[in-house]
Structure 1
């Protein structure tokens, strides 16, 4: 009887953990040089606030595209990661990594975070906060980056 209770408790505890893991945002992007980027919300964090990571891996063919880790960064987020993309925001003819975060409160405001890959190193470039729900985050990042120069 005790074994049945232990099994039931373990099953009960395992269900919420696996459900939480399924709700996490994660995305895989491939750069023009063949490197792989993984963007993911922090494990065991609330969807509405927490962190996200950006990890860079050496260029490799599947299934090894995430075998050889190079570097990574972690940033705070106020909302959930909605999407990721690659876009040239600073006119250097290289694509930067863009992470768009949407707030969960009234207004569904956006924030956007831009990272560059420089000599196999991730470099945080810029972020913009409080964007309207229908704003183009890439255009706003371009403008913010050009104003920094």
Structure 2
């Protein structure tokens, strides 16, 4: 094997290793009652403890095409790691919002919750509550935020 071949193989190995190290990143796909699909993912190549997350909305489609027809997306900052994605009615309108929970990496394990309303072909950022106690109810906190508006 020539030096050039060894260098090429080494570069391929380095690229593969960098990609493999990124596999512990949070990514989740969630089916909405409307048939649409939401994908939430931490930002590529960012530190696990701080960075961004994306929320992407896809048109209704049967598997395996549920992420084929992109409709809208938003990117938000995060201070911590995305822990969970859930649906909850935070404003009492009988429609589910997408709620992204982020847990801080510091000693307090503080919680933040970010809410998004999926519409026909768009996502609306509803707001966030930050610095919640580690054992707080983030849905209750988001509902209080909605009442202040």
Q: Tell me the TM-score normalised to structure 2 length.
A: 0.94
**1:30 counterpart residue number:** 31
**Structure 1 CA distance, aligned partners of 2:14 and 2:76?**
32
Determine helix, strand or coil for the equivalent of 2:105: coil
| 5+ long unaligned stretches in structure 1 | none
Determine helix, strand or coil for the equivalent of 1:126: strand
**2:140 counterpart residue number:** 139
**1:13 counterpart residue number:** 15
- Deviant stretches of 4+, over 4 Å: none
Q: Size of the alignment, in residue pairs?
A: 147
The Cα shift of 1:106 comes to: 1.1
Determine helix, strand or coil for the equivalent of 2:92: coil
Q: How does 1:1-149 map to 2 (within 5 A)?
A: 1-2=2-3, 3-20=5-22, 22-148=23-149
**Structure 2 CA distance, aligned partners of 1:73 and 1:114?**
11
Deviations along 1:55-93, one digit per CA (max 9) or x if unpaired, are: 000100000000000000000000010000000000000
* More off after superposition, 32-41 vs 119-128: 119-128
**Structure 1 CA distance, aligned partners of 2:20 and 2:73?**
25
Determine helix, strand or coil for the equivalent of 2:41: strand
**Structure 2 CA distance, aligned partners of 1:12 and 1:115?**
38
Deviations along 1:98-141, one digit per CA (max 9) or x if unpaired, are: 00000001100011000112332100111000000000111110
| 5+ long unaligned stretches in structure 2 | none
Q: Tell me the TM-score normalised to structure 1 length.
A: 0.94
**For the aligned residues, what is the CA RMSD?**
1.1
